[in-house]
Amino acid sequence: MKLEVVILAAGQGTRMRSALPKVLHTLGGRPLLAHALAAAEALTPSAIHVVYGHGAEAVRAAFARTRVRWVHQAEQHGTGHAVRLAMAGVDPASLVLVLYGDVPLITPATLRTLAAATGLDGVALLTAELDEPGNYGRILRDGAGRVTRIVERKDASPAEAAVKEINTGFLAAPAAKLNGWLVKLSRANAQGEYYLTDIIGMAVAEGVVVATHRPAHPWEILGINSREELAHLERIHQKQNASQLMQQGVTLRDPARFDLRGKLKCGRDVVIDVNVVIEGEVELGDNVVIGPNNVLRDARIGAGTIIHPNCVIEKAAVGCDCRVGPFARLRPGAEIGDGAHIGNFVEVKKSVVGPGSKVNHLAYIGDTTIGKHVNVGAGTITCNYDGANKHRTVIEDNAFIGSNTALVAPVTVGAGATIGAGSVIAKDAPAGELTLTRAEQRSIKGWKRPVKKK
């Protein structure tokens, strides 16, 4: 049976009080709509149709590379209207599954069982039992327990409103039948909208069986209408991320203080301390320890490396058995070799720090290639920018750069060279020799400090 998915995402999301269309707000670092799309894609349907409207340009731009059929709903006349617009491009021989763009935690497993709950001759609804059914549509059943129709909260009598079984909005229905029902919808209701939910009464009147199915987890059906709900779902999502990692053998010092906004691949016995934020694609080797308050974005950290607290590491690769931080910043293009140490208040950009080299205190290393076993003293700055262009610094193996040195690029420090503290090195320093630009120290005999005038 051919399956096609319709995702409703045209609504404004007034209660977000945002200039950003609701479905572009992020959960786990990805737009809400991306979550619904991923759940849909997992079912490998023959087509996905996204009904969009509010913030149309921004939504299209955010998903420019996603292969879906876009259905523009210029004015939002209700869920029935939205699905009807999408149906123009749906194969009448298919089964249609309706999702919402603002319900991001739905699982493919639940969607699969919902789609399997009906064939091309029936309808399946995803329903839930809520102690406080709020504004959800109510599922009405007859004496024999068969679904008879759905009534929206605003149209419900007090007795109907008391029903605790609610419509989650997810449903599966055969396209041909759906087409027939959608054209018969009317706006004669409390909200003056075309309710998709009215097709249920029509189906029942035609003798079509309406099956119901429950989600595997209660949080799957939660939608986002406000910032509070967004934050609530973010925590649920992060808890799942944390559980998965712990099941894979990662130690999380506190799963409630861990945020994954991308993909994390971990080796064996990785330890992640509190308040760590992982973004983009991050890979941690065996026995890596990530200290508290670290931000890692698109980074690779080799086995046995310790990232001490309060570092920001972005688009950088750190080798095995390194020590980084506390308070280090590795910027794009930083490549730290095995066994190297990057200490506090050290910034590294577009540079290679060779194996076993140490840059331990207060330094800026930019556009630089550092060889093996180099020691870079405190306060060393590579002056890579002349105000117009960037230039490279090369520091060869076993060199020793004295504290507070300025290396004015382009410049090379030869292998085994020593640079005296406080030097400004603007010409190449030969291998194996001591180079320094420091003025000689002198003392003035008998010099007296000035005294304050009376």
Please give the residue ranges that form the binding site for ligand UD1 (CB under 6 A).
Answer: 8-11, 51, 73, 76-79, 81-82, 100-102, 136-137, 150, 152, 166-169, 195-197, 223
- Binds 163: which of Ca ion, ligand UD1, none (CB < 5-8 Å by kind): none
Q: Provide the phi-psi class of 27: left if phi over 0, else alpha when psi is between -120 and 50, else beta.
A: beta
Shortest distance, position 110 Cβ to ligand UD1, whole Å: 15
- Of residues 187 and 268, the one with the C-beta less far from ligand UD1: 187
State yes or no: is 217 an active-site residue: no
- Binds 10: which of ligand UD1, Ca ion, none (CB < 5-8 Å by kind): ligand UD1
Shortest distance, position 409 Cβ to ligand UD1, whole Å: 54
- Of residues 125 and 352, the one with the C-beta less far from ligand UD1: 125
Q: Residues 279, 298: contact at Cβ < 8 Å?
A: yes
Q: Cα–Cα distances in Å, from 203 out to 85, 224, 281, 424? A: 20, 29, 47, 84
Shortest distance, position 118 Cβ to ligand UD1, whole Å: 18
What is the CB neighbour count within 10 angstroms for residue 287?
17
- Of residues 160 and 283, the one with the C-beta less far from ligand UD1: 160
Task: Please choose, from the candidates 98, 37, 88, 84, the residue with its C-alpha nearest in 3D space to the C-alpha of residue 62.
Answer: 37
Catalytic hit among 54, 232, 361, 391: 361
Task: Please choose, from the candidates 133, 135, 93, 97, the residue with its C-alpha nearest in 3D space to the C-alpha of residue 1.
Answer: 93
- Of residues 32 and 352, the one with the C-beta less far from ligand UD1: 32
Count, residues near Ca ion per rule CB under 5 A: 1
Q: What are phi and psi of 323, to 5 degrees?
A: -125, 125
- Of residues 152 and 335, the one with the C-beta less far from ligand UD1: 152
Shortest distance, position 99 Cβ to ligand UD1, whole Å: 9
Burial readout 265-286 (b: 16 or more C-beta within 10 A, e: otherwise): ebbeebbbbbbbbbbeebbbbe
Residue 448: how many CA atoms within 13 Å on its side-chain side?
Answer: 3
Shortest distance, position 83 Cβ to ligand UD1, whole Å: 9
Helix (H) or strand (E) holding 177: helix 175-182
Contacts to Ca ion from residues 223-242, by CB under 5 A: 223
Beta strands in 193-351 (DSSP E): 210-213, 251-252, 258-266, 271-272, 276-284, 289-290, 295-301, 306-307, 312-318, 323-324, 329-330, 335-336, 341-349
- Of residues 25 and 81, the one with the C-beta less far from ligand UD1: 81
- Binds 355: which of ligand UD1, Ca ion, none (CB < 5-8 Å by kind): none
- Binds 101: which of ligand UD1, Ca ion, none (CB < 5-8 Å by kind): ligand UD1
What is the CB neighbour count within 10 angstroms for residue 381?
18
- Binds 79: which of Ca ion, ligand UD1, none (CB < 5-8 Å by kind): ligand UD1
In Å, how far from its chain's centre is CA 82? 29
DSSP state of 146: -
- Binds 81: which of ligand UD1, Ca ion, none (CB < 5-8 Å by kind): ligand UD1
Q: Which stretch binds Ca ion (CB under 5 A): 36-44, 121-129, 215-223, 315-323?
A: 215-223
Q: Could you list the active site residues?
A: 361
Footprint of Ca ion on this chain (CB under 5 A)?
A: 223
